[in-house]
Every structure is written in C-alpha cells, then in structure tokens.
Amino acid sequence: MGTGKKEKQRRVREGDTRDGNLRVKGENFYRDAKKVQHLNMYKTGRAQRNKKGEIIKAAYLQDTAAPTARVDPNRRWFGNTRVISQDALTHFREALGERKTDSYQVLLRRNKLPMSLLDEKDNTESPTSKILETETYEHTFGPKSQRKRPRVAVSNLEDLVQSTDQDALNFEEKNELATTMGLMGNVDTDGWTAEAKEAIFHKGQSKRIWNELYKVIDSSDVVIHVLDARDPLGTRCESVEDYIKKEAAHKHLIFVLNKCDLVPTWVASAWVKHLSKYHPTIAFHASITNSFGKGSLIQLLRQFSALHSDRKQISVGFIGYPNTGKSSIINTLRRKKVCQVAPIPGETKVWQYITLMKKIFLIDCPGIVPPSTKDSSEDILFRGVVRVEHVNHAEQYIPGILSRCQRKHLERTYEISGWNNSTEFIELLARKHGRLLKGGEPDEQGIAKLVINDFNRGKIPWFVMPPQDEERPNKRARSEESEDNEKTEEEDEEEDEQSKSHEEWKGIED
C-alpha cells in the first residue's frame, strides 16, 4: 500500500503537477473531510445503544440533561428597552421640555430621543370609565347587579306627554327664530340688513383644497405661513398651526408678514415683535424688481438646509389664506415669473414644485380658509378670500369699509367729500365716475364692487392696529427714575410721532 510521500514522488517523477489533494487508495480514497463531516451529521439523529439495547447516548434534541446556557439570562438581550432612573427622567423632562416648546430651538435626530416621555399623560386624563367610583362592584356586576331605571322628572304618563309637547314647541320656536335672524339679521345703523351667508363665502374650504394642503405639509421640511400685514391675526390659520404642532412637530414653522409696504413702518415692526413670540417672523415685500426681506428669508432657508446636512435637499412649503402673496414671494425669490399670479383669489389651483437652488425646493400651495363660526361674511370678503364680482348686493358691505378706513384717505383717493353715510358716499362716487343707470340713478352695485376691489388691493390705506405693548406706558416713568437708561431727544420725538399715529388711527377697528 502506497503512502502520501511515495505518491508525491511518483507525481514529480512523471511530471504530473496538477492541483488537488494527494489521495491514496486505502486512505479514504473516495471521501474527503467535508464529505465525512456531512455523512456523520446523519448519524447524530439516532440514539447510541449497547449490545443489550440500552441507550448509552440519547439522540439529538432528546437528551434529558439540562443544557448549558450560552446567553446571559438578561431581558435587555430580548428587547430594545432601556432603564432610566427617576432623577434622570425628571432632568430630561425639564431640560428638553423647554426646548421643545421654544420655536427658536431646533431638535435634530428626534427619532433617537425618547420624546414619548414628554407627552406622558396623567391618569386623570384617561378616557376609561370609572363606574366603581359611583356604584359598588356587587351592584354593578355579577348576579346581584341592579338594573338602573331612567330618571324622569315626571310622576305619571300625562305629565310626560305635556313635557314632551312643551319641549317640541320650544324647539320649533327656536328654529324659527334662528331662521328669521339668519335671513334678516340685525338691522345696522346705516339701514342695511345682513343676508344669509352666500355659497361664495365657502370658497377655500373644499375637500380638494385641503387635500392639496396636506400634501404640501407632508412633503415639506419647513412650512412658511404667509400673513397679510394689514390683518395678520385675521389671515392666521391657528387650526393648521395646531395640526403641525401635534402631528408634525419635527417640521419648522415660520411666519412671513407680506405686503408690509401697505402699512406704516412702526405697524409692521410692532406686528413682527408680537408674532415673534410664537414663531420666527420676517417682514417681506414681494416684488421682482424692488423687494424687501428677500435676503433675510434666503439666509434663514440656508440655515435650515445646513441643519439638515444629512439630506441632499430640503423642501419649503408656502401656506396661508388666498390672495396673501404666496406665489408672489416665490417669484421674488427666483427673480422671475415661475408661478402664475393675479390680484384675485384662487389663481393657484394645485401644488407645484419650484427649484430655488441645488439644496432648497419651494412648494406653492392653493389658498385655504379654515372654517370658523366667528367670521362673518364681511370679514371673509375684506380678507380677499372671494372674488368680488361674484358677490350679490355688494353695497351692504360699504359701511364696513367706511368704519375701517379714515375719512381723509377716502377723500384723497376718490377726490370727493361731504358724505354722511354709505348711501351718499356711493352716490357721490357714482356721479363722479359717471356710473349712472336709467333715469340718472347711481349704479350702487358696480360702485360698491369698485370700492371693495380698491380696498382689497391696497389702493385705500387701512390696517388693523397692533396690540399695545404693556411696558410702553411705564417706559417714561422708569427712565426718569434710573439715570443709567436716559432717553435721547430723538427717541422722545419718535415716541411722540408714534403716539400721534395711534391717535389718528384710533377709529380703526381691531
């Protein structure tokens, strides 16, 4: 029988240099080590027995002996839970809770933080019913449970019929009164009556518009809420802000106060100071050739892009009321007309992506109007939500314009004077423009729509007064007491000018 050494010498002598194992007959010629290991695997399935048939070694997975543990019996190996002490939890809530509510603090990698610990609710807020607090267990459940009778405030069937008839009569009277007030309304001091809200005043509340809004919010990393500088609180969608805060807290929300060129400088600065308490606010004037606030907005967007350096690009969505200038802001940032704009609401029908730069994309959204029972038809019309040409009986809204605007501004705009009410104002303006009907009657409907259009498009100066600063009345008294904080003559003159402006605009409604 040959050996491996002789076989190797034979191959060298014959010039056979092929690779491979030197297998010699008699030394497991037909099976290598891998094949042997594979065949031995089938032998482990049966138990080993002696000559008498007794089991010497049990079969695989049938041994009764206790197995040796390979993994430490610790629960942390079988879940993603972590243990935190009560002191560390309290410190985490205090440190991170303040930064979570602060709109000027940015939390990165929120998915790696236990944010659910901040939103832990108390047991008092649980919606579970607390039956056993009013009734015992044996009277509520089990064989001794007692069936509760309904509490009726009558003693017999006749009293029940009378009370039912009286409730039905009260309900009919209430419905009739509500219908009458809805159709006629309260008679104004100017002689006009408020009609029921027309269907045109429900624009911006359709399901299609809100679906577009949710698409924009879901696709955006930064949400820009565009406000009208003349009425910021009226064009603020608080319901959308609450939705973003609860459902998408990781998204950044900022305010852009557009059309700041239509209000005095001190009014815009006062509104920026007031709104900055809630979210970062920027004053803006949308214009391709002569804009204001464009550099500040682009710099802010670049800062957000730098915060999300792990992403290739970020998306910035524009939301807000119709006709607040969302598309105009995008055109201003791009310095060319990339979005269709018009001085009428509803020009943007669907959302659209616009590339601002390599890492920043802009998303234009149609204007939305949150449904509210507090807003009247007059408020909705003066915010530019609906198209004036579709409004019936537009002359009934002229008293609201006369109450919001100063008389001198109307005289300077239309070059008329000497009216005492809205009817005389419409008549004077109609005769000046030659808008007369058959018989020399003034065209009240056409003139009213003309005035409302001028009001919405900024031809007539008006704005809502900003909230007064509580510290302002005591500012002079504090400065007289402290010698370190003395005021200069220029600051006194500026305060006098602003106080005069407050007195002039005293008649404007908030």
- Residue whose pair of structure tokens reads 């008006």 in the numeric block: 462
Same domain, yes or no: 211 and 98: no
Six-digit token string for 240: 């959308």
What confidence tens digit (pLDDT) does each residue in 497-507 have?
Answer: 555 444 444 44
Structural domain includes residue 264: yes
Q: Give the residue, 28 or 430, on which the prediction is more confident.
A: 430
User: Does position 181 have pLDDT exceeding 70, yes or no?
Assistant: no
The predicted structure's pLDDT at residue 405: 92
The CATH number given to whatever domain includes residue 312 is 3.40.50.300
- The CA distance from 64 to 369, in Å, is 74
Six-digit token string for 283: 């004053």
User: Does position 424 have pLDDT exceeding 60, yes or no?
Assistant: yes
Q: Return all residues near 222 (Cβ < 8 A) that are at least 6 apart.
A: 251, 252, 253, 254, 301, 304, 314, 315, 316, 317
- The CA distance from 330 to 224, in Å, is 11
The predicted structure's pLDDT at residue 176: 78
3-state helix vs strand vs coil in the chain, percent to 5: 45, 10, 45
- 113: domain range? 88-117
User: Does position 274 have pLDDT exceeding 80, yes or no?
Assistant: yes
The predicted structure's pLDDT at residue 93: 81
Per-position DSSP letters for 159-210, written without gaps between them = HHHHHHHHHHHHHHHHHHHHHHHHHH-PBPTTS-BPPPPPGGGGTT-SHHHH
User: Does position 78 have pLDDT exceeding 50, yes or no?
Assistant: yes
Structural domain includes residue 96: yes
Structural domain includes residue 489: no
| Last-in-domain residue among 364, 379, 405 | 364
Structural domain includes residue 226: yes
What confidence tens digit (pLDDT) does each residue in 429-478 have?
Answer: 999 989 888 888 889 989 999 999 999 988 999 999 998 764 444 443 34
Q: Return all residues near 39 (Cβ < 8 A) that are at least 6 apart.
A: 31
Domain count, the chain: 2
Six-digit token string for 357: 């730069």
Judged by DSSP in three states, 149 sits in coil
User: Does position 16 have pLDDT exceeding 70, yes or no?
Assistant: yes
- The CA distance from 158 to 168, in Å, is 16
User: Does position 480 have pLDDT exceeding 80, yes or no?
Assistant: no
Q: Give the residue, 482 or 334, on which the prediction is more confident.
A: 334
Same domain, yes or no: 112 and 237: no
Output the CA–CA distances (angstroms, integers) from residue 190 to 74, 120, 421, 463, in the order listed.
81, 55, 7, 23
User: Does position 188 have pLDDT exceeding 50, yes or no?
Assistant: no
Structural domain includes residue 371: no
Give me the count of residues in the chain.
Answer: 510
Same domain, yes or no: 357 and 259: yes
User: Does position 48 have pLDDT exceeding 50, yes or no?
Assistant: yes
Closest CA to 382 of 453, 459, 286: 453
Under the banding of pLDDT at 50, 70 and 90, the label for residue 3 is low
What confidence tens digit (pLDDT) does each residue in 287-338 have?
Answer: 999 999 999 999 999 999 998 888 889 999 999 999 899 999 999 999 999 8
The predicted structure's pLDDT at residue 507: 42
User: Does position 339 have pLDDT exceeding 80, yes or no?
Assistant: yes
User: Does position 128 have pLDDT exceeding 70, yes or no?
Assistant: no
| Last-in-domain residue among 364, 385, 408 | 364
The predicted structure's pLDDT at residue 471: 44
| Last-in-domain residue among 302, 333, 364 | 364
Same domain, yes or no: 228 and 351: yes
Same domain, yes or no: 216 and 106: no
